[in-house]
A and B are shown apart, each in its own frame.
Chain A
Amino acid sequence: MTVEPGGATTTAPTEAPDGLIQLLTPEGERIDHPDYPIDLTADDIRAMYRDLVLVRRIDTEAISLQRQGELGIWASLLGQEAAQIGSGRALGPDDMAFPTYREHGVAWCRGIDPVKLLELYRGVSHGGWDPKDYKFHLYTIVIGAQTLHATGYAMGIQRDGAVGGNGASEAVIAYFGDGATSQGDVNEAFIWGSVFNAPIVYFCQNNQWAISEPLEKQSRIPLYQRARGFGFPGLRVDGNDVLACYAVTKKALQAAREGQGPTLIEALTYRMGAHTTTDDPTRYRLASELEVWKLKDPIERVRAYLVRTGQAGPEFLADVDAEAKKVGAELREACRTMPDPPPLAIFDHVYAEPTAILRTEREQFAAYLETFEGAGDGGERR
Chain B
Amino acid sequence: MTMPTSLTLSKALNAGLRRAMENDPKVLIMGEDVGKLGGVFRVTDGLQKDFGEDRVIDTPLAESGIVGTAIGLALRGYRPVCEIQFDGFVYPAADQIISQLAKMRYRSRGNVSLPVTIRIPCGGGIGAVEHHSESPEAMFAHTAGLRVVACADPADAFTMIQQSISSDDPVIFFEPKRRYWDKGEVDVASDLADALPFDRAKIALEGTDVTLLCYGPMVRTCLESALAARGDGPGNGHSIEVVDARSLSPLDEDTICASVRRTGRCVIAHEAPVYGGLGAEIAARITERCFYELEAPVLRVGGFATPYPPSRLEDYYLPDLDRILDAVDRTFGY
Question: Which A residues are within 8 Å of any B CB, using their own CB?
Answer: 125-127, 129-132, 137-138, 140, 142, 145, 147-160, 184-185, 188-189, 191-192, 195, 348-352, 355-358
In the bound complex, do residue A149 and residue B100 qualify as a contact, i.e. CB atoms below 8 Å apart? yes
Verify if B2 is at the interface (C-beta below 8 Å from A): no
Please indicate which of the listed interface residues B65, B78, B145 has the most CB atoms of chain A within 10 Å of its own CB. B65
CA distance A140 to B99 in the complex (A): 10
Query: When A157-B76, A191-B60, A356-B253 are in contact, do A152 and B69 touch as well, CB less than 8 Å?
Result: yes
Partner pick for A352 among B55, B69, B169, CB 8 A cutoff: B169
- If over half of A's interface residues share one DSSP class (helix, strand or loop), that class is named, otherwise mixed; here it is helix
Q: Provide the residues of chain A in CB contact with B103, threshold 8 Å.
A: 126
Chain A, Cβ-Cβ closest to B100: A145
Partner pick for B62 among A130, A138, A188, CB 8 A cutoff: A188
Q: Provide the residues of chain B in CB contact with A157, threshold 8 Å.
A: 76
Chain A, Cβ-Cβ closest to B99: A142
Question: Quick check: which of B4-12, B107-115, B206-214, B230-238 contacts chain A, the rest being far away?
Answer: B107-115
Query: When A149-B71, A195-B60, A356-B253 are in contact, do A159 and B107 touch as well, CB less than 8 Å?
Result: no
What per-residue 1/0 map shows which CB atoms of B295-309 lie under 8 Å from chain A? 000000000000000
Shortest CB-to-CB span from B120 to chain A, Å, is 19
In the bound complex, do residue B110 and residue A149 qualify as a contact, i.e. CB atoms below 8 Å apart? no
Q: Provide the residues of chain B in CB contact with A159, threshold 8 Å.
A: 28, 54-55, 73, 76, 78
In the bound complex, do residue B111 and residue A352 qualify as a contact, i.e. CB atoms below 8 Å apart? no
Per CB-CB distance, the 6 closest pairs between chain A and chain B, nearest first, are A152-B72, A148-B68, A156-B76, A152-B69, A188-B65, A355-B250
CA distance A358 to B147 in the complex (A): 13
Please indicate which of the listed interface residues A155, A191, A192 has the most CB atoms of chain B within 10 Å of its own CB. A155
Query: When A131-B112, A189-B65, A350-B105 are in contact, do A148 and B76 touch as well, CB less than 8 Å?
Result: no
CA distance A160 to B75 in the complex (A): 13
Shortest CB-to-CB span from A103 to chain B, Å, is 16
Query: When A125-B109, A131-B108 are in contact, do A152 and B73 touch as well, CB less than 8 Å?
Result: yes
Query: When A149-B100, A350-B106 are in contact, do A191 and B75 touch as well, CB less than 8 Å?
Result: no
CA distance A160 to B25 in the complex (A): 11
In the bound complex, do residue A145 and residue B95 qualify as a contact, i.e. CB atoms below 8 Å apart? yes
Partner pick for B64 among A137, A185, A349, CB 8 A cutoff: A185
Partner pick for A351 among B54, B73, B145, B254, CB 8 A cutoff: B145
Q: Provide the residues of chain A in CB contact with B112, threshold 8 Å.
A: 130-131, 138
CA distance A147 to B60 in the complex (A): 16
Query: When A142-B99, A185-B64, A188-B62 are in contact, do A349 and B106 touch as well, CB less than 8 Å?
Result: yes
Partner pick for B73 among A130, A138, A155, A188, CB 8 A cutoff: A155
Q: Provide the residues of chain B in CB contact with A138, threshold 8 Å.
A: 104, 107-108, 112
In the bound complex, do residue A189 and residue B109 qualify as a contact, i.e. CB atoms below 8 Å apart? no
Query: When A125-B109, A357-B251 are in contact, do A189 and B68 touch as well, CB less than 8 Å?
Result: yes
What per-residue 1/0 map shows which CB atoms of B89-100 lie under 8 Å from chain A? 000100110011
In the bound complex, do residue A145 and residue B65 qualify as a contact, i.e. CB atoms below 8 Å apart? no
CA distance A137 to B250 in the complex (A): 29
Q: Provide the residues of chain B in CB contact with A145, threshold 8 Å.
A: 68, 95-96, 99-100
CA distance A330 to B60 in the complex (A): 48
Shortest CB-to-CB span from B281 to chain A, Å, is 10
CA distance A168 to B168 in the complex (A): 29
Partner pick for B71 among A152, A191, A356, CB 8 A cutoff: A152
Chain B, Cβ-Cβ closest to A120: B107
Verify if B321 is at the interface (C-beta below 8 Å from A): no
CA distance A71 to B108 in the complex (A): 20
Chain B, Cβ-Cβ closest to A125: B109
CA distance A126 to B104 in the complex (A): 9
Query: When A126-B107, A127-B109, A142-B100 are in contact, do A192 and B75 touch as well, CB less than 8 Å?
Result: no
Q: Provide the residues of chain A in CB contact with B95, threshold 8 Å.
A: 142, 145, 185
In the bound complex, do residue A154 and residue B147 qualify as a contact, i.e. CB atoms below 8 Å apart? no
Please indicate which of the listed interface residues A148, A184, A350, A356 has the most CB atoms of chain B within 10 Å of its own CB. A148
Partner pick for A185 among B68, B73, B75, B147, CB 8 A cutoff: B68
Q: Provide the residues of chain A in CB contact with B78, threshold 8 Å.
A: 156, 159
Please indicate which of the listed interface residues A149, A151, A153 has the most CB atoms of chain B within 10 Å of its own CB. A149
Please indicate which of the listed interface residues B104, B105, B167, B253 has the most CB atoms of chain A within 10 Å of its own CB. B104
Shortest CB-to-CB span from B57 to chain A, Å, is 8
A and B contact pairs by CB, cutoff 8 A, 30 listed: A126-B108, A127-B107, A127-B109, A130-B108, A145-B96, A148-B65, A150-B72, A155-B76, A156-B75, A156-B77, A156-B78, A159-B54, A184-B62, A188-B60, A188-B64, A188-B65, A189-B68, A191-B65, A195-B60, A348-B109, A348-B110, A349-B108, A349-B109, A349-B110, A350-B106, A351-B169, A355-B250, A356-B250, A356-B254, A357-B251
In the bound complex, do residue B109 and residue A149 qualify as a contact, i.e. CB atoms below 8 Å apart? no
Verify if B17 is at the interface (C-beta below 8 Å from A): no
Chain A, Cβ-Cβ closest to B108: A127
Shortest CB-to-CB span from B197 to chain A, Å, is 12
CA distance A138 to B69 in the complex (A): 16
Partner pick for B75 among A126, A149, A188, A189, CB 8 A cutoff: A149
Q: Provide the residues of chain A in CB contact with B62, threshold 8 Å.
A: 184, 188, 191
CA distance A151 to B67 in the complex (A): 11
CA distance A109 to B67 in the complex (A): 30
In the bound complex, do residue B111 and residue A131 qualify as a contact, i.e. CB atoms below 8 Å apart? yes
Q: Provide the residues of chain B in CB contact with A140, threshold 8 Å.
A: 100
Tell me which residues from 12 to 55 in chain B have a Cβ below 8 Å from any Cβ of chain A: 28, 54-55
CA distance A219 to B130 in the complex (A): 34
Q: Provide the residues of chain A in CB contact with B69, threshold 8 Å.
A: 148-149, 151-152, 155, 189, 192
Verify if B70 is at the interface (C-beta below 8 Å from A): yes
In the bound complex, do residue A152 and residue B106 qualify as a contact, i.e. CB atoms below 8 Å apart? no
Shortest CB-to-CB span from A237 to chain B, Å, is 25
Query: When A192-B60, A192-B69 are in contact, do A349 and B105 touch as well, CB less than 8 Å?
Result: yes
Q: Provide the residues of chain A in CB contact with B192, threshold 8 Å.
A: none
Verify if B189 is at the interface (C-beta below 8 Å from A): no
Q: Provide the residues of chain A in CB contact with B100, threshold 8 Å.
A: 140, 142, 145, 149
Q: Provide the residues of chain B in CB contact with A191, threshold 8 Å.
A: 60, 62, 65
In the bound complex, do residue A152 and residue B70 qualify as a contact, i.e. CB atoms below 8 Å apart? yes
Q: Provide the residues of chain A in CB contact with B99, threshold 8 Å.
A: 142, 145
CA distance A147 to B71 in the complex (A): 11
Partner pick for A126 among B54, B106, B113, B254, CB 8 A cutoff: B106
